[in-house]
Each structure stands twice: as structure tokens, then as C-alpha cells.
Amino acid sequence: MYQLFTCLLVLVKYCTIPILRLDIYRRLQELNVQYLGIIFVFEMADDEVILLDFWASMFGMRVRVALAEKGVVYEYKEQDLRKDHKSQLLLEMNPVHHKIPVLIHNGRPVCESSNIVQYIDEVWNDKAPLLPSDLYQRAQARFWVDYIDKKLYEVGRKSWAADGEEKEAGKKELIENLKVLEGELGDKCFYGGDTFGYVDIALVTFYSWFHTYETFGNFSFEKECPNLMAWIRRCLKKESVSKSLPDSQKILDFAVFMKETYFTKSG
């Protein structure tokens, strides 16, 4: 049994085929009751981090920012999200939703962006804490991230992908919801006070889509939410943010393509 265990350790270290590596990791995990100490040392010495993502996803950007804050080295794997083009790796790592982002840490997948960011904060806890240590403040941070997840994406999509009354309703609700978040920020530097953290990461990645929302909706965030825009400028001073967010014009070009290809009604 020990010989099998050591052979698997060597295989997983040098195997370059992702699916095969994951199968070997699973076999190692089956053996980890007897050799738990050895596998723990092995994983810590040879940490493997893979991110399955799509460049324009504000949810994937969250993970990229969090990993950058922690200084974690990882392998980025861009995914094709078209229904019949999704990779076998994505389907296997997220069998429930088949969505990105997925963080694969030593062969084990973690799904859903807010969950992944919390996982990153707990695993790499020696640098740049993202969630507050106070339990009440942690609960508040989770509340606002949940608000962001439920109140921004769908109405934001409507503001550029929809037409007519639905588009106007989406724009109106998007601005209203961002004003609520602006009110929560108040006069603080960041949502956690003086420290950039969990809520900031969850929200700032939407900024890459602001130019698209403004262009299709014919309005200005600077006029509607000036304090929120000042907060964004503070966030962009951080390298972890500025280098993780794609160019806004590239996002707009992508949105135009998506609208013309998938959302424009024919006839």
C-alpha cells in the first residue's frame, strides 16, 4: 500500500494532463487516512492552484483580485462558456451548475465566487485578511456581498441586453441599488473601514462593466453615484484590482457582440 502511495505522489507531481492529475489526487485522498501526515506535507510543499474562468466575468475577476491580494501563484485556464463547448474539466469540477469561476486547489474544486473568496481568505490567512475578525462585522460583510449578488447582475444585464421598457427598468433599478451601496459606504475609505476587503472585492469588479451600462443606458455613474466612483478610484490604486480588471472598452465591444448575436430579436 505504501509503495502505491509513493508512486501516486510521483505521478501527480509530474503528470501534465489535468483530468489525469485530478484522478490521481482522488486516489491519494482515498489513502490519506493511513498517510494523512505525508499527504499534508506533500500538498503544502507542492501547492497547485488552478482557476477556471472567463475573462469578462465580474465573478471570476473577484477570484483574481483575491488571489492577487494574497500573492498566490496559480494557473489560469480560460473557458469557452457556450453550451456545447464547455470543457470536460469544467463539467467535472462543477457538475451541478457547469459555471465559472472554479478554483481547483490540490485537485479539489471550490465553486461560486463569494464562497471562493472566503476560502482563499481562510487558506492563505498569513497575508492581507479580507474578512473582518469580528464576527458581527463578518456577518455584515456577508450580507452586503449577498445583496450585491442578488441586486446588481441581473438588472445590469437588462440595462444593455434588453430593449424598451425592460431596459429602462433595469437601468433604473441598477442605479437605485448602487445608491443603496453608496449609502452603506458612507464616508468610509473602504467598505471594511480603512482596509480593502471582502465587500470591496465583490463590488469593484462590476466597474469593468460600468462603461457598458452607461453607453447602452445613456447616463453617467459619476453624476448618479459620485461617492461610489471616488471609492472605485481608491480601489484602482491597488495593483491587485487594476491588473485584474479588463479594459472597459473591450468589455463594451464584447457586450455589443453578445447583444447582436444572442439578444437582438429578429424580424
- For 88-157, the DSSP string reads HHHHHHSTTT--S-EEEETTEEEESHHHHHHHHHHHSTTSS--S-SSHHHHHHHHHHHHHHHHHTHHHHH
Tell me the mean pLDDT in the region 15-25. 60
**Cell numbers of 75, please?**
494557473
Tell me the mean pLDDT in the region 50-61. 98
110: burial class by Cβ within 10 Å (0-12, 13-18, 19+)?
buried
Q: Which tens digits make up the pLDDT trace of 189-223?
A: 999 999 999 999 999 999 999 999 999 999 999 99
Residue 106 pLDDT greater than 90, yes or no: yes
> CA 33, CA 38: separation in Å to the nearest integer?
10
> CA 207, CA 94: separation in Å to the nearest integer?
27
Q: Residue 255's closest CA among 220, 194, 214?
A: 214
In the prediction, which pLDDT does 45 show?
Answer: 46
> CA 86, CA 98: separation in Å to the nearest integer?
8
3-state secondary structure of 162: coil
Tell me the mean pLDDT in the region 67-71. 98
Tell me the mean pLDDT in the region 87-95. 98
Instruction: Give residues with Cβ within 8 angstroms of 184, minimum separation 6.
Output: 144, 191
Instruction: Give residues with Cβ within 8 angstroms of 61, minimum separation 6.
Output: 205, 208, 244, 245, 246
In the prediction, which pLDDT does 264 show?
Answer: 78
Q: Is pLDDT larger for residue 194 or for residue 5?
A: 194
Residue matched to cell numbers 495593483 = 239
Q: Which tens digits make up the pLDDT trace of 115-157?
A: 999 999 999 999 999 999 999 999 999 999 999 999 999 999 9
Task: Work out the pLDDT band at 37, boundaries 50, 70, 90.
Answer: very low
Residue 184 pLDDT greater than 50, yes or no: yes
In the prediction, which pLDDT does 121 show?
Answer: 98
Enclosing H/E stretch for 75? strand 75-78
Residue 22 pLDDT greater than 90, yes or no: no
In the prediction, which pLDDT does 41 show?
Answer: 41
Residue 44 pLDDT greater than 60, yes or no: no
> CA 221, CA 227: separation in Å to the nearest integer?
10
Question: CA 146 from chain center: how many Å?
Answer: 14
Instruction: Give residues with Cβ within 8 angstroms of 191, minimum separation 6.
Output: 141, 144, 184, 185, 197, 198, 199, 200, 203
In the prediction, which pLDDT does 31 show?
Answer: 64
In the prediction, which pLDDT does 40 show?
Answer: 41
**Cell numbers of 101, please?**
469561476
Strand partners, 110: 103
Residue 18 pLDDT greater than 90, yes or no: no
